[in-house]
Amino acid sequence: MFTGIITDIGKVASRDGEHFAIACAYPAASIDVGASICCDGVCLTVTKVEVKCDGSLFDVDVSNETRSKTSLKNWQPGRRVNLERSLTLGAEMGGHVVSGHVDGLATIVDIRQDGDSYRFSFEAPEHLSHYIAPKGSIALDGTSLTVNEVSSSRFGVNLIPHSLQVTTWGEKKVGDEVNLEVDLFARYVARLMEFRQ
């Protein structure tokens, strides 16, 4: 379980089919084999850890299913990745409940400056659009964000300067696909409503 608060930007160091190695600033001694790390919103299991002079290198294996549903199919060495360690008991819940189970890909359709912040507009897959509500929570590339507005399958969010600096969002451009996880509670409410009809 995660909160959508990014704690490091990692970099894909290598890729061999389903196998990825990711460099990060987390101390190697703090990462256990078998631990879960959210990588651009995808919960992945650490299979190996190596010590590096400026942090560590951890390995993950990514299934065909995960690659088919997420942006990981396009990952290549050099790509920067939003990282979050799994939630620990007693830790501050700064974002919202994020499972790391991506529902689909959203496409950036517009980016515009709004004061010091930037407004991003997205096109969501139609089958996920009814889970997205104004002022609700959404996880995009692992980042907990508040939905500003919704119109059919399009929705918008606002990113403040701090968020742009400590995540990969400052590098995004129109046309990019991002991993989308709808709010867990919205998903269950929608499912319950199906049974009431």
Q: Which residue is listed with tokens 């390995």? A: 59
Residue 98 lies in a domain: no
Q: Which two tokens stand for residue 62?
A: 């990514």
CATH number at residue 142: 2.40.30.20
**pTM higher than 0.85 for the full model?**
yes
User: Residue 194: its pLDDT value, please?
Assistant: 67
User: Residue 89: its pLDDT value, please?
Assistant: 73
Task: Clarify whether residues 184 and 125 are in a common domain.
Answer: yes
Task: Clarify whether residues 119 and 71 are in a common domain.
Answer: no
Name the band, by pLDDT with cuts 50, 70 and 90, for residue 197: low
Task: Clarify whether residues 114 and 187 are in a common domain.
Answer: yes
pLDDT at 113 over 80: yes
Burial 33-52 (b: 16+ CB within 10 A, else e): eeebbbbbbbbbebeebeee
User: Residue 185: its pLDDT value, please?
Assistant: 72
- What is the average pLDDT across 107-123? 97
Q: Which two tokens stand for residue 64?
A: 């065909």
Residue 92 lies in a domain: no
Task: Clarify whether residues 150 and 112 are in a common domain.
Answer: yes
pLDDT tens per residue across span 71-96: 999 999 999 999 999 988 777 777 88
Task: Clarify whether residues 79 and 151 are in a common domain.
Answer: no
What is d(CA 159, CA 144) in angstroms, rounded to the nearest whole number? 10
| Secondary structure (DSSP) of 36-78 | EEEETTEEEEEEEEEEETTEEEEEEE--HHHHHHSGGGG--TT
Name the band, by pLDDT with cuts 50, 70 and 90, for residue 183: confident
User: Residue 92: its pLDDT value, please?
Assistant: 75
| Domain count across the chain | 2
For the chain, give the mean pLDDT: 93
Its domain, for residue 17, covers 8-85
User: Residue 191: its pLDDT value, please?
Assistant: 62
Q: Of the candidates 130, 161, 129, 156, which has an alpha carbon nearest to the alpha carbon of residue 145?
A: 156
- What is the average pLDDT across 138-147? 97
pLDDT at 54 over 90: no
- Answer whether 148's CB lies under 8 Å from 108's CB: no
What is d(CA 140, CA 42) in angstroms, rounded to the nearest whole number? 10
User: Residue 193: its pLDDT value, please?
Assistant: 67
- Pick from 23-27, 122-126, 171-175, 181-185: least confident: 181-185
